[in-house]
Amino acid sequence: MAAVGMAQAVTEFWPEFNFYWRPAEHQRTVLELSSSTERESQKREATVGLYQDYLRLPAVYFRIGYRFTFSTHDASYRESRIVNEVTATVHTWGRLRLVNRSRLELRWVNNDYSYRVRDRLHLQRLPVDDRHGRALGPYVTFEAYYDSRYNTIDRLGGRVGTDVRINNRIVIDPYLARQNNTRSTPTIVNALGITTKFSY
C-alpha cells in the first residue's frame, strides 16, 4: 500500500505571469498566463485567463472572468471556466491580516459541465518597505474545494510563500504548494511555484 501511495505523489512546477491594469480607481483588469509541468511524466498544461475586478480596497474586491486551460502535449485536456469570486479582509492583528476568498467556478472539462466551490484563508504579514523600496510579505494559505462531480470536498490545498516587492510595478511571489486529492489522481501534488506580477 505504501508503494501505491508513493506512486500517486507527483512534483510539479507552476510558473505564472499576471498583468494588472487600473483603468479607474475602483476597477482592475487582470491577464493571467500560467503553466504546470509534472516532473515524473510528460504532462504539460497552459492557462490563459482574463478577469475584471471591482475594488473596495482594502476591505473587499469582487472578480468575474474567464479561464481556459489546455494540454500542450496532446489534446487530452481542455477546460473552459467562468470564475466568480469575492475576497474580503476578515481581521487584522497589527501587521497580520487574515483574508477569505470564496470562488464559484462554472467548468466545462472536455465538454462535460460541472461546478466547483472553493474557499481559501490567507494569512499574511503586511510588507514593510526597506530603504530601497523593496518589501517582503510572507504568507500561508489553506483552501478547500467542493466538486459537484463528486458531491463532496475532494481537494485540500495549502501554500507557504512570500510576496517580494521589487518596486512599485513588479512583485515576485515564490511559494511551495501541496494538494491532497481524494477523488482523482495523483492523490498528492507537491509544487514549486513562482508568480510574477506586473502593474500598469
CATH, domain range 2-199:
2.40.128.140
Report d(CA 114, CA 107) in Å as an integer.
5
Question: pLDDT category, 1, cuts 50, 70, 90?
Answer: very low
For 157, the 3-state DSSP assignment is strand
From the list 42, 53, 86, 46, the residue with the least C-alpha distance to 68 is 46
Question: pLDDT category, 39, cuts 50, 70, 90?
Answer: confident
What pLDDT shows up at residue 40? 73
What pLDDT shows up at residue 88? 98
Spatial CB neighbours of 117, under 8 Å, sequence gap ≥ 6:
102, 103, 104, 105, 145, 146
Burial of 155 (0-12, 13-18, 19+ CB in 10 A): buried
Let me know how long the chain is. Answer: 200
- Per-residue pLDDT tens over the stretch 155-174: 999 999 999 999 989 999 99
- The angle at the Cα of 195, spanning 38 to 128, to the nearest 5 degrees, equals 145
Spatial CB neighbours of 75, under 8 Å, sequence gap ≥ 6:
none
The grid cell for 8 is: 500517486
Averaged pLDDT for residues 4-31: 88
What pLDDT shows up at residue 74? 85
H-helix segments, the chain: 2-7
Spatial CB neighbours of 106, under 8 Å, sequence gap ≥ 6:
81, 82, 84, 113, 115
Provide the residue type at 196 as one letter.
T
Report d(CA 114, CA 145) in Å as an integer.
13
Q: Where are the domains of the chain?
A: 2-199
**Could you tell me the pTM of the whole model?**
0.91
Residue 107 pLDDT > 50, yes or no? yes
Residue 5 pLDDT > 70, yes or no? no
